[in-house]
Amino acid sequence: MNFQLTEEHQMMQKMVRDFALHECEPTAAERDEEEYFDMAIWHKMAELGLCGIPWPEEYGGAGADYLSYVIAVEELSRVDASIGVTLSAHTSLAGWPVYKFGTEQQKQTYLRAMAEGRSMGAYCLTEPGSGSDAVGMKTTAIMDGDEWVLNGSKIFITNGGHADIYIVFAQTNPALKHKGIAAFIVEKNFPGFSIGKKEKKLGIRSSSTTEVIMQDCRVPKDNLLGQVGEGFKIAMMTLDGGRNGIASQALGIAQGAFEKACAYAKERVQFGKSIGSFQAIQFKLADMATKIEASRLLTYQTAWREDQGIPYGLQSAMSKLFAADTAMEVTIEAVQIFGGNGYTREYPVERYLRDAKITQIYEGTNEIQRLVISGYVLKE
């Protein structure tokens, strides 16, 4: 067993780290304050080939692996979790289902556009009345001639408004429950499609989160993704990978907050010594470092399993659960180490704390991850 990153993985880490430090960090606090998503950063990510890291070159991707992708999300989130989640939702939630279930034509049209960064992707499952209970969705899809007609609304859509391509799940026959659900590739310009309310959030404030509305939205029959009745399986399998994207985001948040707390512990002097020379601070830093390393091992292992074609649904629920809890614990301790300074917006750790909280909630709350994990372990 070899835990060493390959030369390619180290190159990806260095490239994204440099990009994040020079292009994202200088404006991260300002974008957070203004709740502003900067498309210029997205275009630069596209130039660097970050928008389709794990997709083959024949579909416009970088032809790299899932481990490279999670390293990229980690490095972006290390300085700005809003940018990290933008890439994570785009790749894991919108690109992945098209790559796995799309027709050749859908891949050449939509996956290629997303991989090249010409289009941004989003995933639309959650509704006002169905969050954890995803099967309870009310959005309907009815066939009319050569088109599907979608009606309903989706909420909490990451990249909403900036995305061009939306993977939408809708019910074709409520009596069939999850077996009636279908998935669709919906372009933002399709008639009847619109963006609703933009959420004002606690954290990840410079990523866009909106409502998406479909009012007699007409979708060509060729934009059905997979088969009718396969939609719920597609949604769940997509989340299996998406959850490791969130684990990578949580890992990056924890790492970034930890590094800032470490630096502060060395430079901040109280009682005539750096606060890092007190055991109270040393014990905190030791626990933080250990939990971050464990999160990294889980997250990288899940990506490695996906790269090897080994099932990873259990591992991705575990990596998200553990890394998200770690991000919360580490960022709370980072604020504590900064003391009063940490509670102010003069220092970045309060942003990391606010950003960490969402990782315990989206793509399934951590209670849902426990449900998924217990489902696997009780089956064994």
* Residues noted as catalytic: 363
Q: Does residue 368 belong to the site contacting ligand CAA (CB under 6 A)?
A: yes
Stretch that binds ligand CAA, among 50-58, 131-139, 191-199, 296-304 (CB under 6 A): 131-139
- DSSP code of residue 131: S
Q: Which stretch binds ligand CAA (CB under 6 A): 108-116, 127-135, 200-208, 324-332?
A: 127-135
Q: What is the DSSP string of 193-240?
A: EEEEEEPP-SS-TTS-EEEEEEEEEEEEGGGEES-TT-HHHHHHHHHH
Interface pick for ligand CAA out of 98, 125, 167, 257 (rule CB under 6 A) = 125
Q: Which run of H or of E encompasses 252?
A: helix 231-267
Instruction: List alpha helices for 20-135, DSSP H.
Output: 25-34, 39-47, 66-79, 81-88, 96-101, 104-106, 112-115
113 binds ligand CAA (CB under 6 A): no
The C-alpha atoms of residue 5 and residue 151 are separated, in whole angstroms, by 47
Residue owning tokens 């993704």? 225
Give the SS3 label for residue 130.
strand
169 binds ligand CAA (CB under 6 A): no
CB of 137 to ligand CAA, least distance (A): 10
Q: Decide: is 211 part of the binding site for ligand CAA (CB under 6 A).
A: no
Tell whether residue 158 is a contact of ligand CAA (CB under 6 A).
yes
Cβ distance to ligand CAA smaller for residue 89 or 337: 89
Using CB under 6 A, which residues numbered 336 to 365 contact ligand CAA? 362-364
For position 314 contacting ligand CAA by CB under 6 A, the verdict is no
Cα distance between residue 12 and residue 67, in whole Å: 10
Q: What is the C-alpha to C-alpha distance for residues 87 and 92, in angstroms, rounded to an integer?
A: 8
Q: Which of 47, 61, 362, 326 is nearest to 204 (CA)?
A: 362
- 163 interacts with ligand CAA by CB under 6 A: no
| Dihedral in degrees, nearest 10, Cα atoms 235, 87, 328, 160 | -70
374 binds ligand CAA (CB under 6 A): no
Burial 240-258 (b: 16+ CB within 10 A, else e): bbbbbbbbbbbbbbbbbbb
Residues 246-305 that bind ligand CAA (CB under 6 A): none
For ligand CAA, the binding residue among 37, 42, 96, 123 (CB under 6 A) is 123
| 310 binds ligand CAA, rule: CB under 6 A | no
Of 23, 38, 74, 240, the residue at the interface with ligand CAA (CB under 6 A) is: 240
The CA R_g of the chain, rounded to the nearest whole Å, is: 21
Indicate the residue among 255 and 369 with the shorter CB distance to ligand CAA.
369
Question: Does 227 sit near ligand CAA (CB under 6 A)?
Answer: no
Q: At a CB cut-off of 8 Å and minimum separation 6, what does 133 contact?
A: none
**Phi/psi-derived region of residue 133, left when phi > 0, alpha when psi is between -120 and 50, beta in every other case:** beta
Site size with ligand CAA, rule: CB under 6 A: 24
- Could you say which of 21, 135, 263, 269 contacts ligand CAA (CB under 6 A)? 135
Q: How far is the CB of 165 from ligand CAA (least distance, A)?
A: 13
Binding to ligand CAA, residues 43-102 (CB under 6 A):
89
Q: Binder to ligand CAA among 29, 48, 236, 289 (CB under 6 A)?
A: 236
Confirm or reject binding of residue 134 to ligand CAA (CB under 6 A). Answer: yes
* Residues of the shown chain interacting with ligand CAA in the complex, contacts defined by CB under 6 A: 89, 123, 125-126, 132, 134-135, 156-158, 178, 232-233, 236-237, 239-240, 313, 362-364, 368, 371-372
